[in-house]
């Protein structure tokens, strides 16, 4: 990674060329600095991703080099939070990639229900890991609620976890703008959402009661356990290969035998000995044993 030169749009100031003097040697020093002062281990993230986010913060704070930025971190501890916020890319939506949810609906859930029935355990536990504002966790709750609508003997529990506390607060509120619901069928909106005003809706308690949100760092915190389905989508892209490897092992331990792992469409599973593909295109996998 070489010294970075950036073209920056300063709005009405027009384009300015800004030189940020940060190079390969400084980068680990910033990671160490943040670790020593804040306890956050950033070495798990992909270096390119971190570098891009760091540059954004340096531009926003008009600091030009390692010394200036760490000096600012020392003077204004709030900058730690802003930097960590810059690492959280919370883009998400209800039923993101509908074909993935379709596979879960048509293949995963029926197989799971059949197996649970045969085993006499009628609890289905689902984890949306890296859930951002909650749409993924709630989509899974809606999907499962619909799937067991004729089966009151089944109990569904969904966990939504994320490292970003602000995102989780919003998830817990379960309030969404009308435009966030535009991909949902009218039927689903009418059944599971209450209209608050022209602009916003809130999910009904029959769905929110199924979901528990919890702050959780996939890299540092002990894994949740006894899951039947894990969704970890569009999170792995930010994480280094070494950490992904550890995470796939954690997910395997977190799943019941023959549980399902669903990752993002652009993400890849390396642990062929732990998971077999169910639908490779939709990145739906099943734990080997």
Ligand X SMILES: C[S@@+](CC[C@H](N)C(=O)[O-])C[C@H]1O[C@@H](n2cnc3c(N)ncnc32)[C@H](O)[C@@H]1O
Q: Is 233 in the site for ligand X (CB under 6 A)?
A: yes
Q: Give the residue with the Cβ less far from ligand X, 79 or 136.
A: 136
Q: Is 262 in the site for ligand X (CB under 6 A)?
A: no
Both tokens assigned to 111: 């197989």
Dist CA 160 CA 214 (whole Å): 6
Q: Is 143 in the site for ligand X (CB under 6 A)?
A: no
Dist CA 109 CA 148 (whole Å): 9
Q: Is 136 in the site for ligand X (CB under 6 A)?
A: yes
Q: Give the residue with the Cβ less far from ligand X, 156 or 236.
A: 236
Dist CA 285 CA 2 (whole Å): 39
Closest CA to 176 of 130, 207, 145: 207
Q: Give the residue with the Cβ less far from ligand X, 162 or 228.
A: 162
Number of residues near ligand X (by CB under 6 A) = 21
Cα separations (Å) of 29 from 41, 55, 86, 146, 165? 12, 15, 19, 51, 27
Q: Is 83 in the site for ligand X (CB under 6 A)?
A: no
Contacting ligand X within 212-231 (CB under 6 A): 217-219
Contacting ligand X within 24-63 (CB under 6 A): none
How many Cα neighbours within 13 Å face the side chain of 196? 12
Q: Give the residue with the Cβ less far from ligand X, 151 or 212.
A: 212
Three-state DSSP class for residue 87: helix
Q: What is the pattern of x (binds ligand X, CB under 6 A) and - over residues 87-126? A: -xxxxx---x------------------------------
Q: Is 162 in the site for ligand X (CB under 6 A)?
A: yes
CB 136 within 8 A of CB 93: no
Both tokens assigned to 223: 């894994």
Point out which residues bind ligand X (CB under 6 A): 88-92, 96, 130-132, 136, 162-164, 167, 217-219, 233-235, 238
């Amino acid at each position: 990674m070489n010294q970075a030169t950036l073209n920056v749009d300063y709005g009405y100031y027009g384009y300015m060329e800004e030189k940020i003097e940060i190079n390969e040697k400084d980068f680990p020093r910033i990671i160490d600095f943040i670790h020593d002062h804040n306890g956050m281990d950033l070495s798990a993230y992909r270096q390119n991703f971190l570098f891009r986010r760091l540059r954004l913060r340096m531009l926003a704070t008009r600091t030009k080099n390692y010394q200036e930025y760490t000096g600012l971190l020392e003077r204004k501890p709030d900058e730690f939070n802003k930097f960590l916020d810059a690492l959280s890319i919370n883009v998400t939506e209800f039923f993101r990639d509908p074909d993935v949810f379709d596979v879960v609906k048509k293949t995963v859930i029926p197989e799971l229900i059949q197996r649970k029935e045969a085993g006499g355990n009628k609890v289905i536990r689902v984890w949306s890991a890296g859930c951002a504002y909650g749409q993924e966790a709630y989509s899974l709750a809606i999907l499962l609620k619909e799937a067991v609508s004729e089966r009151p003997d089944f109990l569904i529990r969904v966990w939504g976890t994320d490292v970003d506390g602000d995102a989780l607060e919003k998830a817990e509120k379960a309030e969404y703008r009308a435009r966030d619901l535009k991909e949902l069928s009218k039927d689903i909106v009418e059944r599971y959402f209450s209209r608050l005003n022209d602009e916003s809706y809130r999910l009904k308690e029959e769905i929110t009661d199924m979901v528990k949100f919890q702050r959780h760092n996939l890299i540092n915190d002990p894994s949740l356990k006894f899951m039947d389905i894990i969704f970890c989508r569009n999170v792995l892209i930010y994480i280094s290969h070494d950490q992904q490897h550890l995470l796939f092992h954690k997910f395997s331990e977190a799943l019941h035998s023959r549980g399902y792992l669903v990752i993002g469409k652009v993400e890849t599973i390396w642990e062929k000995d732990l998971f077999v593909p169910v639908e490779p295109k939709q990145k739906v996998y099943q734990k080997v044993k």
